[in-house]
Structure 1
Amino acid sequence: MPQVIGVDIGGTALKLGRFDAMGHCRAQLELTTPQPATPGAVATALLEGLEHLDPQRQASGIGVGVPGPADPAGRVARVAINLPGWRDVPLADWLEAQQERPVTIANDANCAALGERWLGAGQGVQDLLLLSLGTGVGGAVIMGGKLLTGRLGIATEPGLILLDPSGPPCNSGNHGSLEQHCSIAALKRLSGLEPAALAEHAAQQDHTALAHWQTYGRRLGMGIASLAYLLTPERVLLGGGIAGALPYFRPALEQELQQRLLPMFRQDMVILPCALGNGAGRTGAARLALDRLCPSGERSGKRHSPD
């Protein structure tokens, strides 16, 4: 049974896992992202991590999730607006030259969506929207069972859609993007607290904390409503560091959707937290490697829950 490696590049951590074709994780490793997280420094750290994770070269291919869009061929990281120096980085070529085995890359949120559909909360769903609520707001769309990436391979960056034209500036050049209202930094501007601390206050029925989560839920609901009118997803999956507080902002979120969406556009639409947690990205990157790099006869298309 073939094995592949899935890698998730994040602003604070590099997550690696070696998987078989049934989705079982045979080995895993997490490294601190070098700072500053320039392309060269990250590539060097990844090469060291790959040697530790798979010294016997059991994996036949590598999939990498990058924090931004990739080219359609899965070779070049086009841009990562929250990491320094990431513009048109030929990451797959760099890693292949040292690893001597095929590498393919994709947007990290796309990888997370693939992982959740393979082994997580998106199993059996043909049309889903995933939002990653963390340092930024990433996202991915699967329609008809396939990733929606557009003609340039960079479609579906939901965090960059407009929410409020007079809102805070975004690294994309936009103002008032969904990311600037629903990221960790946005929540800290609103409340002065990290998400975990704000959730702790809410758990103690602190009225101010609960009010902040209501505001957050309304803002997120506005963004999801706009996306739902375009995509009509069957399932909306929420991941990232803020998603753990879903019980505190779900009521306001769902109320916003009720008010803003015509019934036919929210018919059968379910909002769920991602099931794979911080492992979704590397799991989906492994699935990406299986799909792109391994001959179809060598892998199983069946989906199984992880051990």
Structure 2
Amino acid sequence: MLGLKVQDNADFGAEIIRKVRDYESLSRVELARVLGVAASTIGRHVDSLVAGGYFTETVEPTKEAGRPPTKLRPNPARGCFLGLDFYADMAFATAVDFAQRPIARRKISLKGNQGADSVMQQITDVLVDLQKETQLPLLSVGLAVPGRVDTRNGVAIRYVHVPGWENVPIAEQVGKTMKVPVFIENNIRTMALAERWFGEGQGCQELICLGVRYGVAAGVIRGGQLATGHQELGGEIRGWNCPVFDAKAEKWEWRPGATVEKAGSAGAAAARYAELKGSDTADLDAFLEAVEKEDEVALLVLREIAAVHGWVVSQMTQLIDPEIVVLAGPLTRLGSAYLEPVQSFALQFESDYHPGISIRISELGEFAGAVGAAALALEKWRPEDLG
């Protein structure tokens, strides 16, 4: 059963829209069955949604005898959702229509070193420009925010890479300009939503997305919903103590203070490569380019980083039991050179109870967080105009 009071029209309408999106199209009878409510109850609410322009309803051709089914589909022209993902020096924004089809996007450099006010002005400006390009009514905005966040109050708690970025009421400030509801989430968690709605995990009810940037965290989908935990710290694995793999000696070891973030982040990969090359500058792009050129030192470093990720995947899958695990972040640019060692190391830790899980590379690229933020916006939005 749905578990909602049917008289809560906005929530019930949102759940109807969510289910139709999940299945891409549903008849009224199918929808009633999926939600576990009476067809007569569904009929009244669907009528309101069709009248409000949220759904189109078309007769589907069929080879079977009898009356052909009438299917509900989200109406793309009903409005749009914006999603924005950012960190200290870059921002990515995307717009999707009501049928969750991408229609526009932006990528801009940020002046994070100039402080929180500068970042807020820049991300607000790009959202305004993007909304103008869509030429559709704006329904809500999702923000993929770096660092610790308070999603209930829409506050960005802390992000060390932007001066003054502490307790920023980001949802309120963006909402004043955009004039619509604004929802926020940690940027790695939004990647899990992106995979759930648009990527490798489309349609999955149980999913883990391991996001590796200059930080490391996991987004967890349970029962089709983002699982954030009691203190909104679900998936914050960056501080886990972890074993470290020495690729030269081909052995694992525990080192004091070794954490997933220190040993397995994209920044850690760049720093390790610089260390072995005798360079004073840790440059992630230089490391990635070296891997693509099959530089021996870069491949050694990649193996060490992939080992940590394989260990993390094995631990999380034994706890969560997902359908799939999706790897996201800049290392995915390396394709199978990155994926295959992660898969290999994860297999070293599998048990009889938890045989090897499907591990995949995200295909959403650098816009994964923005796409996830748009997914957050469409998932949290409620059709308040229902009677």
- State the TM bucket, normalised to the shorter chain: 0.7 to 0.9
Say if 1:74 and 1:106, in contact at 8 Å, map to a contact too.
no
Cα 1:264–1:185, aligned 2, differ >3 Å: closer, same or farther? same
Say if 1:72 and 1:152, in contact at 8 Å, map to a contact too.
no
Q: 2:93 aligns with which of 8, 13, 16?
A: 16
Distance 1:240 1:39 in 2: 24
- Give 1:279-290 correspondences, 5 Å limit: 279-290=367-378
What per-residue deviation string (whole Å, max 9, x for no partner) do you get for residues 206-226 of structure 1? 433332222222122222222
Cα 1:204–1:15, aligned 2, differ >3 Å: closer, same or farther? closer
Distance 1:188 1:135 in 2: 10
Q: 1:73 aligns with which of 134, 140, 152?
A: 152
Distance 2:152 2:294 in 1: 50
Distance 2:168 2:203 in 1: 34
Gaps spanning 5+ residues in structure 2: where? 1-77, 244-253, 275-281
Gaps spanning 5+ residues in structure 1: where? 168-174, 299-307
Cα 1:51–1:230, aligned 2, differ >3 Å: closer, same or farther? same
Aligned counterpart, 2:210 = 131
SS at 1:264's partner residue? coil
Cα 1:21–1:39, aligned 2, differ >3 Å: closer, same or farther? same
What amino acid sits opposite 2:86 in the alignment?
A: I
What amino acid sits opposite 2:348 in the alignment?
A: Q
Aligned counterpart, 2:341 = 252
- Give 1:182-201 correspondences, 5 Å limit: 182-192=264-274, 194-201=283-290
Aligned counterpart, 1:27 = 104
What is the CA-CA distance between 1:204 and the residue it aligns to?
A: 4.6
* Greater RCO structure (CA 8 Å; 6+ sep): 1
What amino acid sits opposite 2:309 in the alignment?
A: L
Is 1:63–2:142 an aligned residue pair?
A: yes
254-263 vs 190-199, which moves further: 190-199
Is 1:238–2:320 an aligned residue pair?
A: no
Distance 2:138 2:162 in 1: 28
13-22 vs 78-87, which moves further: 78-87
243-252 vs 127-136, which moves further: 243-252
Is 1:45–2:119 an aligned residue pair?
A: no
Aligned counterpart, 2:56 = none
Aligned counterpart, 1:181 = 263
What is the CA-CA distance between 1:84 and the residue it aligns to?
A: 3.3
What is the CA-CA distance between 1:187 and the residue it aligns to?
A: 0.9
Distance 1:82 1:35 in 2: 7
Distance 1:216 1:285 in 2: 27
What per-residue deviation string (whole Å, max 9, x for no partner) do you get for residues 238-257 of structure 1? 11111222422434323322
- Give 1:159-238 correspondences, 5 Å limit: 159-163=238-242, 166=255, 175-192=257-274, 194-238=283-327
Distance 1:42 1:275 in 2: 28
Distance 2:311 2:143 in 1: 31
Of all paired residues, the percent bearing the same amino acid is: 26
What amino acid sits opposite 2:265 in the alignment?
A: S
Aligned counterpart, 2:166 = 87
Cα 1:19–1:219, aligned 2, differ >3 Å: closer, same or farther? same
SS at 1:295's partner residue? coil
Say if 1:8 and 1:64, in contact at 8 Å, map to a contact too.
yes
Say if 2:80 and 2:137, in contact at 8 Å, map to a contact too.
yes
What amino acid sits opposite 2:365 in the alignment?
A: G
Cα 1:197–1:59, aligned 2, differ >3 Å: closer, same or farther? same
Distance 1:236 1:297 in 2: 38
Distance 1:279 1:97 in 2: 25
Distance 2:333 2:221 in 1: 23
Q: Which structure has the larger Rg? A: 2
Is 1:120–2:163 an aligned residue pair?
A: no
What amino acid sits opposite 2:95 in the alignment?
A: R
Say if 2:271 and 2:283, in contact at 8 Å, map to a contact too.
no
Say if 1:38 and 1:83, in contact at 8 Å, map to a contact too.
yes
Cα 1:212–1:47, aligned 2, differ >3 Å: closer, same or farther? closer
Aligned counterpart, 1:303 = none
What is the CA-CA distance between 1:232 and the residue it aligns to?
A: 2.1
What is the CA-CA distance between 1:203 and the residue it aligns to?
A: 4.5
Say if 2:91 and 2:108, in contact at 8 Å, map to a contact too.
yes
SS at 2:149's partner residue? coil
SS at 2:111's partner residue? coil
Cα 1:76–1:136, aligned 2, differ >3 Å: closer, same or farther? same
47-56 vs 178-187, which moves further: 47-56
Is 1:261–2:350 an aligned residue pair?
A: yes
Aligned length, in residue pairs: 290
